[in-house]
Amino acid sequence: MNYIASLDKRSRVILAVLIFAAFGGAVWLLTGPSEPTYHGEKLSRWLAGYSQPVQPGGPPDGAMSADRAVRALGTNAIPTLLDCLNVNESPLARRLIEFGLEFSLTPNGIRDRIDQFAQARSTRREWALRGLRALGPEAKRAVPSLAELSEGYPTQVDRSVFETLAAIGPAASAAVPRMLARLHDDNARTRMAVLGVLVEIGATPETVVPKALECLHDQDKGVRGEALICLGKLGPAAKTAVPSLLEFLSFATNASLRVWAFETLGQIQAEPEIVLPGLLVALRDPDPVVVQSVARSLGGFGPAASAAAPRLVEILQTGKDVIGKGDVILALGRIRAEPKTVVPLFVRLLGDPLYSMHRRIIAESLGDFGADGIAAVPALIELLEDRDHAVQMTAKAALQKVAPGETQSRLAE
C-alpha cells in the first residue's frame, strides 16, 4: 500500500488505464464469441439458471434446465463454457484487475464497474464448471484448461475444479500429472481434494498407491484420512499397500484414522493371512466405533474371516450398544460361518424388541447363508407381512436364496 501511495499522479493514471484496459478485454472475452442456442435461447441464458434460488420443497428447475441445455448441445457447448472459465484471459490482465480491486487506483465509477465484473466473472466461472460437470466424459476437451485453472486461483475454485474433473471421470486422466504435483501444495484442503479425485480421474494403482502411502505421514489428519479413503477406492488393486496400512495401525492413536484404516483393509480384501490376525485383536478394542469398522472390514473378507465368527457372536450377545451391532450382523452373514449357532441367534433377535431396527439387515444376513439358513424359513415368512415394505422385500429375497420352493408356494397363496 505504501508503494501505491508513493506513485505520482501520472503513474497512477497510467496504471489505472492499464487496469481498465484489462477489464475491457476480459469483458470482451465474456461477451465475445458467438454461442450455440437451445430452443432459441443462447447457452448463457440457460447457464444463468444455475444461479436461480431453489424454492423450498421444490425442484431446482433452473439448474435442471441448464443441465438439459448443456447436455443437448453436447460438445458444441464446450467453447462457450471455456470462455466463461476465462481460460483465455492473460495472467497479466487477471493480475491487473485483482490489483485494481485491492488498491484505490481508479475513479469510483470505474472501480464499481470492475467490482461488478469481478463478481460476474466468478459467477460465470461457476456456471461453466457446473455445465462441464453436466457433460461428464463428453467434456474431455476441457481437461487441459481445467488443470490449468486449478493453479493460481483461490482454494474454493480449486475444489470446484476438482469436482468437475471427477465428474468427467477417467476421460480426465490427462490431468493426473498436474494433480499429483498439487499433493505438495501448502494448503491441506487442496491436498485432500487431490486425493479425493485421483482414482475417479483414472490415475493407475501403480501411480496412486505410492503417493497415498506418502500422504499417510502428512502432518494434517484430514490428509491422512483422505489418503486411506483413496486407497480403499482402489480395492484389491491396492494390495501392495497392506503392509504399510498395518504399520500405520500400529502407531495410529486417533480413533477416526483407525476406523478409516480398518475399513480400507476390508475394501482392499487382500492378504487375509496377515490382515485377519490384527483384525481379530482389534475386535476387542474398547471403542465401539472401532469395533464396528473392524466388523465391516471382516465382512469384506467373506468366508476367509470365519475365525472371527465366535467373537462376533459374543459381541452380539453382550453389551448394550444395539445400534452399532448392525455391522456385526452383516459381517456374520457375509462370513457365513457357524450357521448352527448364528442362524438360530438371528431368529431369536428378530423377536427381540431391542433389535427391531435391524429386522431388514437380519433378513438380508439370513439370506446370505443360503440353504444353511433353512431353519429361518418360518421367521422369514412372517416378515413377508412386516409393516415395513423394505423389510418385506428383503425377506422375500432372502427366502429365494434359502428356500426357493417355499417362496414360490408362499407367493401363490
Q: pLDDT tens digits, residue range 260-317? A: 999 999 999 888 899 999 999 999 988 888 999 999 999 999 999 999 999 999 999 8
Separation of alpha carbons 1 and 381, rounded Å = 79
Query: Is position 128 within any domain?
Result: yes
- The enclosing domain of 387 has a CATH number of 1.25.10.10
pLDDT 10s digit of each residue in the chain, 413 long?
Answer: 444 445 455 454 444 545 455 444 444 444 445 789 999 999 989 999 998 776 666 555 888 999 999 999 999 999 999 988 864 445 555 555 555 555 554 455 454 554 454 556 778 889 999 999 999 999 999 999 898 877 755 555 568 889 999 999 999 999 999 999 999 989 899 899 999 999 999 999 999 999 999 999 999 999 999 999 999 999 999 999 999 999 999 999 898 999 999 999 999 988 889 999 999 999 998 888 899 999 999 999 999 999 999 999 999 988 777 778 999 999 999 999 999 999 999 999 999 988 999 999 999 999 999 999 999 999 999 999 999 999 999 999 999 999 887 655 555 45
Query: Is position 258 within any domain?
Result: no
Query: Is position 413 within any domain?
Result: yes
Give the domain-ending residue among 87, 108, 138: 138
Tell me the three cell numbers of residue 359. 429386522
CB 141 within 8 A of CB 78: yes
Query: Is position 71 within any domain?
Result: yes
Query: Is position 25 within any domain?
Result: yes
* pLDDT at residue 401, as a whole number: 93
* pLDDT at residue 36, as a whole number: 93
Give the domain-ending residue among 138, 158, 190: 138
* pLDDT at residue 155, as a whole number: 53
* Number of independent structural domains in the chain: 2
Give the domain-ending residue among 121, 138, 155: 138
Dihedral angle at the C-alpha atoms of 213, 214, 216, 221, nearest 10 degrees?
-140
Kindly write down the DSSP assignment for every residue of 127-167, as one continuous string: HHHHHHHHHGGGGGGGHHHHHHHTSSS-HHHHHHHHHHHHH
Query: Is position 180 within any domain?
Result: no
For residue 93, give the DSSP letter.
H
Query: Is position 203 within any domain?
Result: no
Residues 21-49, buried b or exposed e (16+ Cβ, 10 A)? ebbebbeebbeeeebbebeeeebbebbbb
- Stated pTM of the model: 0.74
Q: Which residue has the cell 432459441?
A: 40
Owning domain of residue 7: 1-53+60-138
Compute the C-alpha angle 389/391/393, nearest 5°: 70
Query: Is position 21 within any domain?
Result: yes
